[in-house]
Amino acid sequence: MALDQKSAPNDLSAFWMPFTANRQFKKTPRMFVSADGMFYKTGDGREVLDGTAGLWCCNAGHNQPKIVEAIRQQAGELDYAPAFQMGHPKAFELATRLCDMAPEPFEHAFFTNSGSESVETALKIALAYHRARGEGSRTRLIGRERGYHGVNFGGISVGGIVNNRRHFGTLLAGVDHLPATHLPEKNAFTRGQPEHGAELAEDLERIVALHGAETIAAVIVEPMAGSTGVLLPPKGYLERLREICTKHGILLIFDEVITGFGRLGSSFAAEHFGVMPDLITCAKGLTNGVIPMGAVLATAEIHDAFMQGPEHMIELFHGYTYSGNPIASAAGLATLETYREQGLFERAAELAPYWEEGLHSLRGLPHVIDIRNMGLIGAVELSPIAGAPTKRAFQAFLDCYEKGVLIRTTGDIIAMSPPLIIEKPHIDQLFGTLADVLKTLE
Ligand SMILES: Cc1ncc(COP(=O)(O)O)c(C=O)c1O
């Protein structure tokens, strides 16, 4: 009788929710039942302004007709094709379009299903690349404190958010970390990239001196650290990381799962900052968050290092059942077309100054100790309640939701990253509501 229902269909207990305070949620659930454009709709019919593009992923907003239609059509035409030793046209087309959109040196795309998988894939490509070139001693991976690279073992090993690591054993061996770039005493309330902190990249020289360059495979950083609470790279920092990596033959990986697809007003942060890594990870905005999909972008140099040996042999022993899934590929193609047709990356760049003004108008409100922004990303850091860190920002999240606005919090930092279709009145609503909430917080 396994198929019998044990409980009512709307029982909340079976679903163990990810990154959620399950007990709190299930006492007072917050449910979205539909979405269109800039707004979600709740079960009780309220509209909630999407101030976070879902989870930094719905860059073209919700219910985009082209994406919806592409998925519908693809499901009826070719639902699934084996990903290994077989192909289907849309995966190839999407890889080509994606590389066209990426900065020049990126000529190849390896498909995954999420940001976390893109990170694992990039780390494995980095290790195997060195081995393929006869430098198999390069096995160390360098991440950064406060970095977020998803939740799989490679990603949490190079990541630097303590709660994401401390519960899960010894993680990968041979990992070291750069210091975080956050210097609030010098850089608080900076608009855009902070002036101070480029020298933190020099720590990579210390790590190289400690371990020996010939043991280090790759450095992975988010060009702008999003999930930890929007930490921007100090001016000159990424350039210096690039120089040191090049000098020592270390690959540089930019984790662009958040910064990809227009968030900073250009296709990728690499283009925005004018610093080229060797590998780029992406996901989220690749399909507008609608269907799970990620990718790793590689330069020809990296890709070609694998293309040797007998031609009937598999070159990279890695891949997923759903790598380049037909429906995800169709969604990806429609998403990239939507970005282009609606000029959404340019739109993000145009709106960024208005966004910055609105965000920084919150300075001086109770508890606000820092404000940071770039492109259509903004963060407001609050002083924590003594003895109850995270509680104040979480209360702000709950209050904003009650007032019809979705924000995100991490620790005591409020992060906002709206769909790039946002209009000025929405920006006013978002920051106006947040201002009202901040005035009433404990
Ligand atoms: C920089 C970065 N890398 C990786 C991930 C993980 O992506 P996913 O949740 O799709 O596995 C995220 C998610 O926010 C991210 O911000």
Instruction: Return the domain boundaries, the chain.
Output: 22-63+343-440, 68-341
Radius of gyration of the chain measured on its C-alpha atoms: 22
**CA nearest 25: which of 33, 35, 14, 17?**
17
* Atom number of ligand 1 nearest to Cα 147: 1
Q: Rounded to an integer, what distance in angstroms lies between the CA atom of residue 268 and that of residue 286?
A: 11
- Burial-class residue 384 by CB neighbours within 10 Å (0-12, 13-18, 19+): middle
CATH 3.40.640.10 fits 68-341, yes or no: yes
**Measured from the CB, is residue 257 less than 6 Å from ligand 1?**
yes
Are 159 and 149 a contacting pair, CB within 8 Å? yes
How many whole angstroms from 282 Cα to the centroid of ligand 1?
Answer: 8
DSSP assignments along 72-108, one per residue: HHHHHH-----SSS---HHHHHHHHHHHHHS-TTEEE
**Measured from the CB, is residue 256 less than 6 Å from ligand 1?**
no
Q: Whose C-alpha lies nearest to ligand 1, atom 8? A: 115
Q: Rounded to an integer, what distance in angstroms lies between the CA atom of residue 426 and that of residue 246?
A: 44
Which DSSP category does 286 fall into?
G
Q: Rounded to an integer, what distance in angstroms lies between the CA atom of residue 294 and that of residue 149?
A: 13
> What is the helix (H) or strand (E) element at residue 54, kind and residue range?
helix 53-56
Q: Whose C-alpha lies nearest to ligand 1, atom 7? A: 115
Q: Which residues have a Cβ under 8 Å from the Cβ of 223 and sit 6 or more positions away?
A: 233, 238, 254, 255, 256, 259, 269, 270, 272, 273, 275
How many whole angstroms from 153 Cα to the centroid of ligand 1?
Answer: 13
Are 380 and 359 a contacting pair, CB within 8 Å? yes
* Atom number of ligand 1 nearest to Cα 114: 10
**Measured from the CB, is residue 51 less than 6 Å from ligand 1?**
no
Place of tokens 């890889």: 95
- Tokens standing for 96? 């080509």
User: From first to last of its 442 residues, what are the pLDDT tens digits of the chain?
Assistant: 455 666 666 799 999 999 999 999 999 999 999 999 999 999 889 999 999 999 999 999 999 999 999 999 999 999 999 999 999 999 999 999 999 999 999 999 999 999 999 999 999 999 999 999 999 999 999 999 999 999 999 999 999 999 999 999 999 999 999 999 999 999 999 999 999 999 999 999 999 999 999 999 999 999 999 999 999 999 999 999 999 999 999 999 999 999 999 999 999 999 999 999 999 999 999 999 999 999 999 999 999 999 999 999 999 999 999 999 999 999 999 999 999 999 999 999 999 999 999 999 999 999 999 999 999 999 999 999 999 999 999 999 999 999 999 999 999 999 999 999 999 999 999 999 999 999 999 8
CATH 3.90.1150.10 fits 22-63+343-440, yes or no: yes
Q: Beta-carbon neighbour count of residue 420 at 10 Å? A: 27
